Amino acid sequence: MTQPREHAVVIGGSLMGLLAARILADHFTRVTLIERDRFTEAVASRPGLGQARHLHVLWSRGLEIAEQLFPGLEDELRVAGVPEVRVPADMLWLTSAGWRRRFESTRLLTFSRDLLDWTVRARLAKTGSLRLLAGHEVTGLLAGAEAVTGVEVRERGTTGPGEPITADLVVDATGRASKTPAWLERLGYPAVRQTLINPLLGYASRTYAIPAGFDPGWKALYLQADPPHGTRTGALFPQEGGRWIVSLFGVGEDYPPTGDDGFLEFAKSLRSPLLYEAIRDAEPLTPGVSYRRTGNLRRHYERMRAWPKRFLVAGDALCAFNPLYGQGMTVAAKSALTLDACLRADGDLDGLARRFHRKVIKNATGPWLVATGEDLRYGTTEGATAGVRTRVLNRYVDRVQHLANVDPRVCDRFIDVLALTAQPQSLFLPEVLWRAATTRTRPPAGPDDLIP
């Protein structure tokens, strides 16, 4: 049955909300995007996007989709000074299995997250049918007997009952802290089941000015922990504005400190001194900041028997990953395309949520396995333990890691999985299995082998 597609509302103006609004603008006469924060004219951080002060990697599939939805976006980012890092060709990468040879496998545009969102938002704002309602918070859902009919909105900083905004479709893109479980209970729906697999991972990050004339033969560093005993990872990437973003990560409550000395000490304790040596005398541009809400979280909306029509949940609000593997934005981008496909396939808005949630969760299975599989290497991870299957798989992944360090084809296959252009099962293709069984090449002994 075809229903009116007059007005759609998206709650949350971060990447998922922005991309969803872009898709809905193709299908609805009007779209309203409601964001709690106020936006600034220039690129700036905002409270609702606290994670933007930490390293954000957008893998190739995510960038491709963003470019497809906003043609020319990549050029705009380059014009804004965003560097390109070829991975691992421009990067010294210490994996859990040793140093990786510097093959030409993929490339990343290493923008700050604030710049990415600002650029996408500026492009979206040019859409004639879009109304951007910033500085407004959604406080609840409006609903009839079986369907959501709109939202209740209050200007930030005011009190009292919210104003109603009616809509033919409402999308929740409010991230991990989404209030949908509470909103649904208020409407009389049963409690939402959720899964949380929490590696108790903490981030600490700060930016530094890249020292003048710095040219050590690499552009980025990624020094990974070696589980199950090694808990500490560090990353350094260039960003626009001639700066580095440095993020330190500790699993199992081994949280990196944010103070000057503690930050440097943690950097010094990584498996290679390279990152510490790079930042030791560099000029910090920002103070250290931390982030700890990083567990893998799934809300099982796709399994709920009763669900209000014309309401769907997307992005981190539906399924969020340990961000260390850099998957959330690419999953959000893929979900935007799924929304488009669902809307094109069928005029029935009433059944849209079921179709959408099921497809998104199916697409999220690979990244979920990658993130939780790695996290379950640590006995300190809460919410699940590694069963025999996970342990056997992780042994095989260890072997693939070794191979990826020395074999460009396996490195490509491995990065395809991380970049969400291939499913984890692709690591079991005959080509990889054969190489895993026969290759005996040793990995590079140390970074000196990797710097020309």
Residue from 25, 31, 57, 274 touching ligand FAD (CB under 6 A): that is 57
Please, which residue, 66 or 406, has the CB nearer to ligand FAD? 66
Check if the beta carbon of residue 177 is closer than 8 Å to that of residue 166: no
Binding flag, residue 137, ligand FAD (CB under 6 A):
yes
- Least spacing, CB of residue 120 vs ligand FAD, in Å: 11
Q: How far apart are CA 229 and CA 227, in angstroms?
A: 5
Q: Is 379 helix (H, G, I), strand (E, B) or coil?
A: coil
Scanning 77-85, 323-331, 374-382, 426-434 for contacts with ligand FAD by CB under 6 A, the matching segment is: 323-331
Residue from 304, 329, 342, 419 touching ligand FAD (CB under 6 A): that is 329
Scanning 224-232, 276-284, 328-336, 362-370 for contacts with ligand FAD by CB under 6 A, the matching segment is: 328-336
Scanning 12-20, 207-215, 258-266, 428-436 for contacts with ligand FAD by CB under 6 A, the matching segment is: 12-20
The DSSP secondary-structure symbol of 31 reads: E
- Least spacing, CB of residue 299 vs ligand FAD, in Å: 12
Residues with Cβ within 8 Å of 161's Cβ and at least 6 positions away in sequence, in order, are: 152, 154
Q: How far apart are CA 196 and CA 324, in angstroms?
A: 16
Task: Please count the other Cβ atoms lying within 10 Å of the Cβ belonging to residue 442.
Answer: 9
Alpha carbon separation from 184 to 10, 101, 242, 280, 411 (Å, rounded)? 17, 51, 46, 51, 45
The DSSP secondary-structure symbol of 309 reads: B
Binding flag, residue 367, ligand FAD (CB under 6 A):
no
Question: Which residues ranging from 152 to 191 are in contact with ligand FAD (CB under 6 A)?
Answer: 173-176
- Least spacing, CB of residue 324 vs ligand FAD, in Å: 8
**Per-residue binding letters, 13-32, with ligand FAD (x by CB under 6 A):** xxxxx---------------
Binding flag, residue 328, ligand FAD (CB under 6 A):
yes
Task: Please count the other Cβ atoms lying within 10 Å of the Cβ belonging to residue 158.
Answer: 9
Residue from 94, 116, 138, 245 touching ligand FAD (CB under 6 A): that is 138
Residues with Cβ within 8 Å of 175's Cβ and at least 6 positions away in sequence, in order, are: 12, 14, 16, 48, 315, 316, 317, 320
Binding flag, residue 327, ligand FAD (CB under 6 A):
yes
Residues with Cβ within 8 Å of 268's Cβ and at least 6 positions away in sequence, in order, are: 276
Residue from 326, 366, 443, 447 touching ligand FAD (CB under 6 A): that is 326
Residue from 7, 22, 54, 310 touching ligand FAD (CB under 6 A): that is 54
Widest Cα–Cα separation across the chain: 69
- Least spacing, CB of residue 130 vs ligand FAD, in Å: 16
Instruction: Give backbone dihedrals phi and psi of 142, rounded to 5 degrees, phi first.
Output: -95, 140
Residues with Cβ within 8 Å of 363's Cβ and at least 6 positions away in sequence, in order, are: 331, 334, 335, 338
- Output the CA angle 212-217-223, nearest 5 degrees: 100
Residue 197 tokens, joined: 């697999």
Please, which residue, 14 or 390, has the CB nearer to ligand FAD? 14
Residue from 7, 22, 56, 100 touching ligand FAD (CB under 6 A): that is 56
Size of the site for ligand FAD (CB under 6 A): 37
Residue from 11, 165, 210, 371 touching ligand FAD (CB under 6 A): that is 11
**Per-residue binding letters, 34-53, with ligand FAD (x by CB under 6 A):** xxxx----------xx-x--
Binding flag, residue 315, ligand FAD (CB under 6 A):
yes
Q: What residues make contact with ligand FAD under the rule CB under 6 A?
A: 11-17, 34-37, 48-49, 51, 54-58, 137-138, 173-176, 203, 291, 315-317, 323, 326-330, 332
